[in-house]
Chain A
Amino acid sequence: MSFVGRNIGVELGRRTILHGVDFSATAGQVTAIVGPNGSGKSTLLRALCGEVRCTGRVAINGRDTSQLKGWQLAGMRAVLPQAASLAFPFTVIEVIRLGLSAGVSVRRDHLPSRALEAVGLAGYGGRFYQELSGGEQQRVQLARVLTQVWEPVAHGAPRWLLLDEPVSSLDIGHQLMVMELMRDYAARGGGVIAVMHDLNLTAMFADAVTMVHRGEIAATGTPAKVLTDATLSRAYGCNLRVNCQPPQGGTWLLPHAATLRAG
């Protein structure tokens, strides 16, 4: 089962953001979309989830998304926006319960608190969403999205998490935690597609990487195949070398070296 985009083209105003690109993600894997600022990586995700008008064809588990109703899609995939403001003073648990309104998860009543626990915010249910920090708000939204498609597989078909920069405002500990969550979801049979800014975390957790550059697909494949000196240097406009210690020494820190503590 897969999430496929064929010949996706997006124009915003007179600018062409995506020039007819192909994209494919497989269930059971974490697929990362990377690329420099303004490359079109977020637009690709928004085209895949139907948020922007695009040419071409998008299919989820072999079904054309343009043929599916909104509520059907809502049962197959959930989307985490990059930034989410909230109009009214909802509490955290009320925000997460909105994920239930997609209405396809079983044993629903406990899901919101379990989702809160999963993103490390147990006990935050009664707090006001607007009073949380940016990173906490991002994790609340993730919990809402998880609640919508809690079981990674439903009726024999995988469900999908489409995440736009899910770790962008998180500290390194919570980044690792959320990446673990994504990996776990994929391991249990679901599909995860995430726009990623952090190349280290991408290299650590992604099973497949698609690099977008100037509205085209620059490379696609395993992290080792895509994250190479030549591809990275061309796309990001500076000389980059992977697996290279800083020539000047100094302090440096990689998420690879971290382990999540038990207890």
Chain B
Amino acid sequence: MTLATCNEIAVADPPDRAAAARRLSLWLGLALLATMTASLATGAAGTSLWAALGDLAQGRALSRVDETILWNIRLPRTLMGALVGAALAVSGAVMQGLFRNPLADPGLVGVSAGAGLGAISAIVLGAALPAGMMALIGAHLVPMAAFAGGWITTLVLYRVSTRGGRTSVATMLLAGIALGALAGAVSGLLVHAADDQQLRDLTFWGLGSLAGATWGKLMAAAPIILVALLGAPFLARGLNALALGEAAAGHLGIPVQRVKNLAVLAVAGATGAAVAVSGGIGFVGIVVPHLLRLASGPDHKTLLPNAALLGASLLLGADMISRTITAPAELPIGIVTAILGAPVFLWILLRRRMVVEL
């Protein structure tokens, strides 16, 4: 083609961002190992991970206290922090791909708010349940209710925004805002009816915390989160094509409706489970995918796994800050992620405005 040959701008092959993203995966994996180790070694109690490992290596038994702190407190907390961080970051990335909007987030379409309503209902109304029933399900009531709230919100959202098997992204976003507002309003009503002890629970839960991590909660949340995390990369090709719009993705042979259904399921599952065990932890779902897109491009094939790794590391880091900065007391981790995340988010917005119309 003549016009091509007269184009004298000799540019070398474009930098291969895919290779850079794969190298990044390696570094993020190492970083996660490091933060998990640090998380196990950090805590309000004086127990030392290294001393304990040394004892074990020499065949000495751990003291009861050290064993409890490491095995029943720090380890489930570390694993849960990693899982929740990964779940929040991947939920955000999938939702942004689905809505073709870098600002979309489970918080935005009301999934988190719905899960929050479920949890608040459980905290406030749970007191009215018969004592026998509370003894039976007490510990699991809040997580279960949060999980159910997230799912119900997603289902209602879907009923509202799907007509004839087709989901309109615009309707879904707007319906999500309305549902989020509704869930927030009902939550507010419930808070009004709460007593002092419940209010403290609500505040702590509302800002998010990993302090309640137990093996039981971990086992309840882990299967759902792991299925969502391991399934998400299979949506990568579809989400990449969706960036061109639904019609264009369809013309590329992508089963658009199926990709959308699965994406919504993955997001509802991962977000519901994460909110259930750790409350509303903000900004991870928006900030992590943004940083990764800046570093290695928007290709979901590498974005989704990298988001899981970075999300896990960041949340563990934030949790370590929340545990130690006011020790022996603890800050809700949502405060830490908001203080760290909100300025980063604003900075990203200022930078992105030049490249993408938001």
Given contacts A70-B254, A90-B298, A123-B11, contact A263 B245 (CB under 8 A): no
A126-140 interface bits toward B, Cβ cutoff 8 Å, 1 = contact, 0 = none: 101011000000000
Partner pick for A123 among B10, B293, B297, B299, CB 8 A cutoff: B10
Question: Using Cβ atoms and an 8 Å threshold, which residues of chain B touch A72?
Answer: 253
Interchain CA distance A73-B254 in the complex, whole Å: 10
Q: Are A75 and B253 neighbours in the complex by a CB distance under 8 Å? A: yes
> Across the two chains, which residue of chain B brings its CB closest to A261?
B2
Q: Are B250 and A70 neighbours in the complex by a CB distance under 8 Å? A: yes
B90 to chain A, nearest CB (A): 16
A179 at the interface (CB under 8 A from B): no
Partner pick for B237 among A99, A101, A118, A123, CB 8 A cutoff: A101
Q: Are B248 and A81 neighbours in the complex by a CB distance under 8 Å? A: yes
A43 to chain B, nearest CB (A): 13
Q: Are B293 and A120 neighbours in the complex by a CB distance under 8 Å? A: no
Question: Using Cβ atoms and an 8 Å threshold, which residues of chain A touch B102?
Answer: 87-88
A102 at the interface (CB under 8 A from B): yes
Given contacts A73-B253, A81-B245, contact A91 B3 (CB under 8 A): no
A167 to chain B, nearest CB (A): 14
B32 to chain A, nearest CB (A): 25
Partner pick for A84 among B5, B13, B244, CB 8 A cutoff: B244
B241 at the interface (CB under 8 A from A): yes
> Across the two chains, which residue of chain B brings its CB closest to A145?
B251
Question: Using Cβ atoms and an 8 Å threshold, which residues of chain B touch A120?
Answer: 1, 3-4, 7
B103 to chain A, nearest CB (A): 11
B101 to chain A, nearest CB (A): 7
Partner pick for B6 among A70, A87, A263, CB 8 A cutoff: A263
B262 at the interface (CB under 8 A from A): no
B289 to chain A, nearest CB (A): 10
B62-78 interface bits toward A, Cβ cutoff 8 Å, 1 = contact, 0 = none: 00000000000000000
Q: Are A117 and B4 neighbours in the complex by a CB distance under 8 Å? A: yes
Question: Using Cβ atoms and an 8 Å threshold, which residues of chain B touch A106?
Answer: none
Interchain CA distance A177-B7 in the complex, whole Å: 14
B130 at the interface (CB under 8 A from A): no
Q: Are A93 and B2 neighbours in the complex by a CB distance under 8 Å? A: no
B356 at the interface (CB under 8 A from A): yes
A189 to chain B, nearest CB (A): 19
Question: Using Cβ atoms and an 8 Å threshold, which residues of chain A touch B223?
Answer: none
Partner pick for A101 among B15, B247, B252, B293, CB 8 A cutoff: B252
A229 at the interface (CB under 8 A from B): no
Interchain CA distance A28-B5 in the complex, whole Å: 27
Given contacts A87-B101, A102-B252, A123-B7, contact A130 B356 (CB under 8 A): yes
Could you tell me how many residues of chain B have their Cβ less than 8 Å away from some Cβ of chain A? 40
Q: Which of B216-257 contact A (CB under 8 A)?
A: 237, 240-245, 247-248, 250-255
Tell me which of B11, B241, B250, B252 has the highest count of chain A C-beta atoms within 10 A of its own C-beta: B252
Q: Which of B1-38 contact A (CB under 8 A)?
A: 1-7, 9-11, 13-15, 17
Interchain CA distance A91-B16 in the complex, whole Å: 10
Question: Using Cβ atoms and an 8 Å threshold, which residues of chain B touch A56?
Answer: none
Q: Are A125 and B13 neighbours in the complex by a CB distance under 8 Å? A: yes
B61 at the interface (CB under 8 A from A): no
Given contacts A51-B250, A94-B297, A263-B6, contact A88 B356 (CB under 8 A): yes
Q: Are B293 and A122 neighbours in the complex by a CB distance under 8 Å? A: no
A144 to chain B, nearest CB (A): 8
B355 at the interface (CB under 8 A from A): yes
Q: Are A131 and B101 neighbours in the complex by a CB distance under 8 Å? A: no
Q: List 21 A-B contacts (CB under 8 A).
A: A79-B247, A79-B248, A86-B243, A87-B242, A89-B355, A90-B297, A91-B17, A95-B244, A98-B244, A101-B240, A101-B241, A102-B252, A117-B4, A120-B1, A120-B3, A125-B13, A126-B14, A148-B252, A177-B1, A177-B3, A261-B2
User: A-B pairs with the 8 shortest C-beta distances?
Assistant: A74-B253, A126-B14, A88-B298, A87-B100, A71-B253, A123-B11, A120-B3, A125-B14
